[in-house]
Amino acid sequence: MPRDPSATESAPPRAPRPRRVCPRRGPATIRPLFAILGAALAAAPAVGPAAPTGAAEAPPAVIASIAPIHSLVAQVMEGAGRPRLLLPRGASPHGFALRPSDARALARARLIVWVGPALEGGMARPLAALAGGAVKLRLIDADGVRTLPVRRGGVWEADEHEHGHEHETAEGHGEEHHEGEHGEAAGIAAVDPHIWLDPRNAAAMLRAIAASLAAVDPARAGLYRANAERAEARLRALDSALAARLAPVRRVPFVVFHDAYQYLERRYGLAAIGAVTLDPGRTPGAKRLIELKARIRRSGAACAFAEPQFEPGLLATVIEGTGARAATLDPLGAALEPGPGQYATLMDNLAAALAGCLARR
């Protein structure tokens, strides 16, 4: 039956739908961080199994936690792509919060390289919640990386520095055991996480990074292995240069702001006698500071080293009246441009600062 066009013309107009007015959110109604991260995840593309890799395929999305580790990853990835640096320059890995953009990057990543929860404690939960599709390389557990136990107390005697408390396991890792401590939390507390400050550890990390990259990007496996081998050769030359530069100041006593340099000390025979704080997030007690000042006077310590990430006022208090000079060490290279050359520059800067201050006795 033919349709009457007038039926459409005579239909009453539809009433407009009333608009909903939402109250403006104030500070008290701001969503918590994980709600924001959840929204970021919903907007991010799903991470599924890797597609077959071809010569023209884009390199995998790779994230490195801190600048020295980012530098090692960047060296292995040269000619393929660039990793993303997670921790902003100048921030401390001992306590930092992820931004929503970081959450989106974690959700898209194929490989995430970090030291481990003993250093980047704030990353553990987000990695579990957001990066389920990524390979997670924990360098503190990598084959060939030698670890040292956290030193107890802020003042170290000569015999402790000379001999240490390193225990070698079958895998070549240092391990410390304490009665009454069990599980991962005890292990995290027992291991010094500043592993990159020994170039021999850095060489082992290069190999682990190359293997993980080859696993997520098999088509470029040969490139990653060749890059890692070249980077290891550069590390051997760097190690020799650092040893020669620091040889004149072996056994010259000094103090650091926080206990981050044990791997550097052990590698090159340096003589740190104490730290203002073991945990940079906590203020040391008066007793610790008094003991450290007495130790500086007793040992004739030449220098005390601050760090750019932390307030140097406590260090000035400790060395006042002792004759020790103040200088700065930076274990992360906060002022350096991230990239392949950052690690070598970082280590060279540390050696220059140590030799420059300790040699002026």
CATH number of the domain enclosing 281? 3.40.50.1980
| Structural domain includes residue 236 | no
Name which residue leads in pLDDT, 203 or 120.
Answer: 203
Cα separation, 124 vs 119, whole angstroms: 10
| Structural domain includes residue 331 | yes
How far lies 224's CA from each of 58, 61, 73, 98, 213, in Å?
15, 15, 10, 29, 7
| Structural domain includes residue 124 | no
In 3-state terms, what secondary structure has residue 262? helix
| Structural domain includes residue 198 | no
Residues forming beta bridges with residue 256, ordered by sequence position: 275, 305
Q: How many domains does the chain have?
A: 1
pLDDT value at position 53?
Answer: 43
DSSP assignment, residue 176? -
For residue 305, give its domain range: 248-358
**Which candidate, 266, 264, 317, 260, places its Cα nearest to that of 288?**
317
| Structural domain includes residue 278 | yes
Assess contact for 282 and 298: CB atoms under 8 A.
no
Q: What's the pLDDT tens digit per position in 320-338?
A: 999 999 999 999 998 999 9
Q: What's the pLDDT tens digit per position in 241-259?
A: 999 999 999 999 999 998 9
Count Cβ atoms below 10 Å from residue 162 Cβ, excluding itself: 10
pLDDT band of 361, cuts 50, 70, 90: low
- The backbone region for 90, taken as left when phi is positive above 0, alpha when psi lies in -120 to 50, beta otherwise, is left
The pLDDT of residue 101 is above 50 = yes
Name which residue leads in pLDDT, 28 or 326.
Answer: 326
| Structural domain includes residue 321 | yes
| Structural domain includes residue 185 | no
For strand 325-328 and strand 303-306, is the pairing parallel, antiparallel, or unpaired? Answer: parallel
pLDDT band of 95, cuts 50, 70, 90: low
pLDDT value at position 116?
Answer: 94
Q: Can you tell me which residue has the tokens 């003993």?
A: 118
Taking each helix axis from N to C end, the angle separating 221-246 and 342-358, rounded to the nearest 10 degrees, works out to: 10
| Structural domain includes residue 150 | no
Q: Which helix (H) or strand (E) holds 296?
A: helix 286-299
In terms of residues, how long is the chain? 361
Q: What's the pLDDT tens digit per position in 188-215?
A: 458 999 999 999 999 999 999 999 999 9
